[in-house]
Amino acid sequence: MFKYFLVFFVSVLTYVFMEEFESYRAAYQKTGGSFDIIVGSLPNAISTMLGILLAALIFGSKAFFQNASSYTIGVAIYEIIQLYLPERTFDIWDIVATLAVYIVVIVFYFSILWIVEKRKDLSAG
Protein backbone atom coordinates (compact mmCIF):
# COMPACT_ATOMS: atom_id res chain seq x y z
CA MET A 1 0.00 0.00 0.00
CA PHE A 2 2.82 2.38 0.90
CA LYS A 3 4.44 1.70 -2.49
CA TYR A 4 1.31 2.93 -4.27
CA PHE A 5 1.24 6.05 -2.12
CA LEU A 6 4.87 6.76 -3.04
CA VAL A 7 4.12 6.28 -6.74
CA PHE A 8 1.17 8.67 -6.50
CA PHE A 9 3.17 11.21 -4.48
CA VAL A 10 6.13 11.22 -6.86
CA SER A 11 3.78 11.49 -9.86
CA VAL A 12 1.94 14.48 -8.38
CA LEU A 13 5.19 16.09 -7.31
CA THR A 14 6.58 15.70 -10.83
CA TYR A 15 3.48 17.22 -12.41
CA VAL A 16 3.37 20.18 -10.00
CA PHE A 17 7.08 20.86 -10.35
CA MET A 18 7.02 20.70 -14.15
CA GLU A 19 3.98 22.97 -14.42
CA GLU A 20 5.53 25.48 -12.02
CA PHE A 21 8.84 25.40 -13.84
CA GLU A 22 7.23 25.80 -17.26
CA SER A 23 5.41 28.94 -16.12
CA TYR A 24 8.72 30.64 -15.22
CA ARG A 25 10.94 29.04 -17.88
CA ALA A 26 10.88 31.99 -20.30
CA ALA A 27 11.98 34.41 -17.57
CA TYR A 28 14.83 32.10 -16.51
CA GLN A 29 16.09 31.67 -20.06
CA LYS A 30 16.55 35.37 -20.80
CA THR A 31 20.06 35.42 -19.37
CA GLY A 32 21.63 33.38 -22.21
CA GLY A 33 24.82 31.37 -22.10
CA SER A 34 25.36 28.12 -20.24
CA PHE A 35 22.76 29.01 -17.61
CA ASP A 36 20.20 29.14 -20.44
CA ILE A 37 21.16 25.61 -21.51
CA ILE A 38 20.92 24.27 -17.97
CA VAL A 39 17.55 25.88 -17.28
CA GLY A 40 16.21 24.78 -20.65
CA SER A 41 17.22 21.15 -20.09
CA LEU A 42 16.38 20.92 -16.40
CA PRO A 43 12.84 19.58 -16.92
CA ASN A 44 14.19 16.69 -19.00
CA ALA A 45 16.83 15.90 -16.40
CA ILE A 46 14.32 15.95 -13.55
CA SER A 47 11.73 13.93 -15.45
CA THR A 48 14.35 11.30 -16.23
CA MET A 49 15.39 11.08 -12.59
CA LEU A 50 11.81 10.92 -11.30
CA GLY A 51 10.74 8.52 -14.05
CA ILE A 52 13.51 6.11 -13.16
CA LEU A 53 12.52 6.45 -9.49
CA LEU A 54 8.91 5.64 -10.39
CA ALA A 55 10.01 2.60 -12.40
CA ALA A 56 12.04 1.38 -9.43
CA LEU A 57 9.09 1.90 -7.08
CA ILE A 58 6.64 0.13 -9.37
CA PHE A 59 8.76 -2.73 -10.70
CA GLY A 60 11.34 -3.13 -7.95
CA SER A 61 15.07 -3.55 -8.30
CA LYS A 62 15.14 -6.89 -10.14
CA ALA A 63 15.00 -5.28 -13.58
CA PHE A 64 16.24 -1.82 -12.59
CA PHE A 65 18.77 -1.46 -15.40
CA GLN A 66 16.28 -2.55 -18.08
CA ASN A 67 13.51 -0.31 -16.73
CA ALA A 68 15.79 2.71 -16.37
CA SER A 69 17.18 2.16 -19.87
CA SER A 70 13.71 1.77 -21.38
CA TYR A 71 12.44 4.94 -19.75
CA THR A 72 15.49 6.92 -20.85
CA ILE A 73 15.19 5.69 -24.43
CA GLY A 74 11.52 6.69 -24.38
CA VAL A 75 12.35 10.22 -23.21
CA ALA A 76 15.04 10.54 -25.90
CA ILE A 77 12.66 9.28 -28.61
CA TYR A 78 10.00 11.75 -27.48
CA GLU A 79 12.54 14.56 -27.77
CA ILE A 80 13.39 13.49 -31.33
CA ILE A 81 9.70 13.23 -32.23
CA GLN A 82 9.34 16.87 -31.24
CA LEU A 83 11.02 17.71 -34.55
CA TYR A 84 7.73 16.81 -36.22
CA LEU A 85 5.23 18.07 -33.63
CA PRO A 86 3.76 21.55 -33.98
CA GLU A 87 4.21 23.85 -31.00
CA ARG A 88 7.12 21.72 -29.71
CA THR A 89 10.85 22.41 -29.88
CA PHE A 90 13.63 19.89 -30.41
CA ASP A 91 16.73 20.61 -28.35
CA ILE A 92 19.86 18.46 -28.47
CA TRP A 93 20.75 19.65 -24.96
CA ASP A 94 17.59 17.99 -23.63
CA ILE A 95 18.89 14.66 -24.93
CA VAL A 96 22.33 15.35 -23.43
CA ALA A 97 20.75 16.17 -20.05
CA THR A 98 18.61 13.03 -20.20
CA LEU A 99 21.60 10.81 -20.94
CA ALA A 100 23.76 12.53 -18.31
CA VAL A 101 21.16 11.95 -15.59
CA TYR A 102 20.73 8.35 -16.75
CA ILE A 103 24.48 7.72 -16.44
CA VAL A 104 24.62 9.32 -12.98
CA VAL A 105 21.64 7.28 -11.75
CA ILE A 106 23.05 4.02 -13.11
CA VAL A 107 26.50 4.67 -11.59
CA PHE A 108 24.86 5.59 -8.28
CA TYR A 109 22.69 2.45 -8.32
CA PHE A 110 25.54 0.09 -9.07
CA SER A 111 27.76 1.84 -6.51
CA ILE A 112 25.13 1.22 -3.86
CA LEU A 113 24.89 -2.45 -4.90
CA TRP A 114 28.68 -2.75 -4.71
CA ILE A 115 28.76 -1.20 -1.21
CA VAL A 116 26.00 -3.53 -0.01
CA GLU A 117 27.86 -6.56 -1.36
CA LYS A 118 31.09 -5.46 0.32
CA ARG A 119 29.29 -5.05 3.64
CA LYS A 120 27.75 -8.51 3.29
CA ASP A 121 31.19 -9.98 2.60
CA LEU A 122 32.70 -8.20 5.61
CA SER A 123 29.92 -9.28 7.97
CA ALA A 124 29.97 -12.88 6.68
CA GLY A 125 33.75 -13.18 6.73
CB-based contact 39:29 (threshold 8 Å): yes
Q: How does DSSP assign 89-112, residue by residue?
A: ---HHHHHHHHHHHHHHHHHHHHH
User: Tens digit of pLDDT per residue, the chain (125 long)?
Assistant: 676 777 777 777 776 766 666 666 666 666 666 777 777 788 888 888 888 888 888 888 888 999 899 889 988 998 899 899 887 778 898 899 999 999 999 999 999 989 988 998 888 76
At 12 the pLDDT is 75
Give the HSE-up count for residue 115: Cα atoms under 13 Å, Cβ half-sphere: 6
At 69 the pLDDT is 92
The whole domain housing 6 covers 2-124
What is the pTM for the complete model shown?
A: 0.76
At 33 the pLDDT is 66
In the chain, how many domains are there?
A: 1
